[in-house]
């Protein structure tokens, strides 16, 4: 087991990463914050079907009460938050309660926002069950839900007391969900980790087959990187913005398609391709470096087609919560391992890139296949 400490203004908290942690009977109960008046296990029916028995055993001494809710992106809204809060009231939840969020990014974001707002704040523990959640969303205290107008527009910064990442839980993900998480892994390689990028180029086939040793290394490396970034910039005033690489277009794409057609990581995959193309067009990224990033994104697998027109994506971009005074902030790669925050991207170029975006992935595949030959 690897243990990292995440710095937070609300108190430092441990991130534990290792196989078999969830299956240790009674172990999780001993890691919970002291003296909870009640423990509520928040999860989804899908996660519960695979992991309910193990989670119940691991938390058995704490006698957790179960609350299940829909973990589809379309259900990540204020109505779901209200439903959970009312179940907490009926279950006797008070300010001494501990909420344990066991699931993917939607479960963590919703449960985190409930924890931040219920009784003006109760303690929170994350047990992420997807690759996206283990390497990214469970770490750093961002919580929130969507509006029809945009992604994660209502939320709070609210750090957990503990994060427990068990790569064994990834075995029950379907292939599409797993690939979705790999796009977030690529994000970390591009923004700050050339070694990770090199390893992914060499071992992507092993990763997509879920090779245990490769996966364990990647989960721990990305989780640690996220922890270091958010520890230095908890409120996204500077450095943390680099984590939005691919998310400007990605979030707009999710919102424009009603949160129904693409998984989060898939939208980020398209968003990374857009950011790479913008950086190349602006002369800030070489063609060779652009080809490397695009080929790695393409190597993960076939992204679902973009389900909306470019105009619909463009309209959603301006609702992005990262915009300042109407100016969009873009995270653009300079080279593998280095990015910049840019506000000077011409709208005409964004429109042009969105129009050609569906053609970028086939071109990247052809380039990757040519290099392989």
Q: How far apart are CA 314 and CA 51, in angstroms?
A: 40
Beta strand pairing status for 13-17 and 97-103?
unpaired
Q: How far apart are CA 339 and CA 261, in angstroms?
A: 29
Q: How far apart are CA 83 and CA 157, in angstroms?
A: 21
Active site residue ranges? 120, 142, 184, 226, 236, 240, 244, 247, 251, 264
- H/E/C letters for each residue in the chain? CEEEEECCCCCCEEEEECCCCCCCCCHHHHHCCCCCCEEEEEECHHHHHHHHHHHHHHCHHHCCEEEECCCCHHHCCHHHHHHHHHHHHHCCCCCCEEEEEEECHHHHHHHHHHHHHHHHCCEEEEEECCHHHHHHHCCCCEEEEEECCEEEEEEEECCCCEEEECHHHHHHCCHHHHHHHHHHHHHHHHHHCHHHHHHHHHHHHHHHCCCHHHHHHHHHHHHHHHHHHHHHCCCCCCHHHHHHCCHHHHHHHHHHCCCCCCCHHHHHHHHHHHHHHHHHHCCCCCHHHHHHHHHHHHHCCCCCCCCCCHHHHHHHHCCCCCCECCECCEEEEEECCEEEEECCCCHHHHHHHHHHHHHHHHHHHHHHHHHHC
Q: How far apart are CA 72 and CA 95, in angstroms?
A: 28
């Amino acid at each position: 087991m690897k243990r990292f400490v995440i710095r937070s203004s609300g108190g430092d908290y441990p991130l534990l990463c290792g196989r078999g942690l969830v299956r240790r009977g009674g172990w999780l109960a001993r890691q919970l914050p002291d003296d909870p008046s009640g423990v509520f296990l928040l999860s989804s029916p899908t996660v519960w079907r695979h992991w309910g028995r193990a989670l119940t055993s691991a938390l058995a001494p704490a006698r957790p009460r179960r609350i299940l809710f829909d973990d589809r992106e379309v259900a990540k809204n204020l109505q779901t938050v209200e439903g959970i809060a009312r179940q907490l009231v009926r279950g006797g939840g008070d300010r001494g309660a501990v909420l344990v969020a066991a699931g993917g990014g939607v479960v963590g974001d919703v449960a985190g926002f409930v924890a931040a707002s219920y009784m003006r704040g109760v303690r929170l523990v994350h047990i992420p069950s997807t690759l996206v959640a283990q390497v990214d969303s469970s770490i750093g205290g961002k919580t929130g839900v969507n509006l029809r107008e945009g992604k994660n527009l209502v939320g709070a910064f609210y750090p957990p007391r503990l994060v427990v990442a068990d790569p064994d839980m990834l075995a029950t993900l379907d292939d599409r969900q797993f690939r979705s998480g790999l796009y977030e892994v690529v994000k970390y390689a591009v923004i700050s980790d050339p070694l990770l990028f090199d390893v992914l180029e060499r071992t992507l086939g092993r990763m997509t087959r879920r090779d245990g040793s490769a996966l364990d290394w990647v989960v721990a490396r990305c989780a640690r990187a996220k922890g270091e970034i958010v520890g230095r910039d908890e409120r996204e005033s500077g450095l943390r913005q680099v984590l939005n690489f691919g998310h400007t277009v990605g979030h707009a794409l999710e919102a424009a398609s009603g949160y129904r057609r693409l998984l989060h990581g898939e939208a980020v995959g398209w968003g990374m391709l857009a950011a790479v193309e913008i950086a190349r067009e602006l002369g800030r990224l070489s063609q060779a470096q652009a080809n490397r990033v695009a080929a790695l994104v393409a190597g993960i697998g076939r992204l679902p087609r973009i389900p909306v027109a470019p105009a619909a994506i463009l309209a959603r971009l301006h609702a992005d919560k990262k915009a300042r005074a109407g100016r969009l902030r873009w995270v653009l790669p300079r080279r593998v391992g280095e990015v910049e925050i840019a506000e000077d991207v011409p709208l005409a170029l964004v429109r042009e890139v969105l129009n050609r975006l569906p053609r970028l992935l086939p071109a990247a595949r052809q380039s990757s296949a040519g290099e392989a030959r």
